[in-house]
Amino acid sequence: MLGIPRFPRVVPMGSHRYNPVLSKATDCSANDSMGLLPAPNLTLLTEGAIFKGRSVSLQCAAPSIYQESTFHLQIRDDGKLVETKEAPKSMHSVTFTIAEFTVPGNYVCRYQQLVSTTCGISKSSNILHLTLSAVPDFTTSPPGPTKAGVPFGIIVLVGAITGLVVVVISVTITVYIKRIYDKKKKRKQRERESVWTPRDMASGLYKITAFLTSLT
């Protein structure tokens, strides 16, 4: 028997085709005998593995006619009450969030509700077995992206862009080197053409004198 107070048995309401007048269960007396309402459904909302100290969320949902009930989350193994929450207005479910989950085990939930003037508590929900997973150790060799996880199209695109960049850089360097070479070549040619040595001057005077002598 779980550690939830006993309440009087619910007065039969026929075949559930009519909607009973419901109110909050905060006025239920702990000294009354238990009345069993339909069991709620307990669902794990947290996806993936559960690690120690991480947040875990569970939803407990009663049948839709039992709105604004008071819900209890318990560990079935030892009957320990984990948390109690009241459903918001016009709602028939609550979400329990365990901020730092450290206790694995079998979890169940129940709800209590006033039906007319009679207080009742539900059967236990389905059992939700929660286990702790070992925390991965990334201190030595953090996982890197695998080639299998990269689409082939992206690999081809990256390769093409890399090749294009290499070609552009190569052409740019070649053009730059050629321009420097051409500038040096033209400068040397201008220097050779502008040089006038004494030997060249004497040779020129000799030719002019010989030409004038031949005329006389």
Q: Model confidence at 115, in pLDDT bands (50, 70, 90)?
A: low
Q: What percent of the chain has pLDDT over 90?
A: 36
Provide the pLDDT for residue 159: 83
Mean pLDDT of the region 47-55: 90
pLDDT exceeds cutoff 60 at 110: yes
Collapsing DSSP states into helix, strand and coil, what is residue 147?
A: helix
In DSSP terms, 118 is beta-bridged to 115
- CATH code, 22-130: 2.60.40.10
Lowest-pLDDT range, 25-34, 39-48, 103-112, 135-144?
25-34
Q: 130-135 long-range contacts, Cβ below 8 Å, gap at least 24? A: 130/44, 130/50, 130/56, 130/101, 130/104, 130/105, 130/106, 131/50, 131/104, 132/50, 132/51, 132/52, 132/101, 132/102, 132/104, 133/49, 133/50, 133/51, 134/51, 135/51, 135/52
CA–CA distance from 102 to each of 7, 99, 131, 164 (Å)?
Answer: 32, 10, 9, 55
Q: Where are the domains of the chain?
A: 22-130, 148-211
Provide the pLDDT for residue 106: 96
Residue appearing with tokens 């082939």: 152
pLDDT tens per residue, range 159-179:
889 888 888 898 889 888 988
Provide the pLDDT for residue 204: 64
* Cβ-Cβ contacts under 8 Å for 198 (sequence gap 6 or more): none
Please say whether the beta carbons of 132 and 103 come within 8 A: no
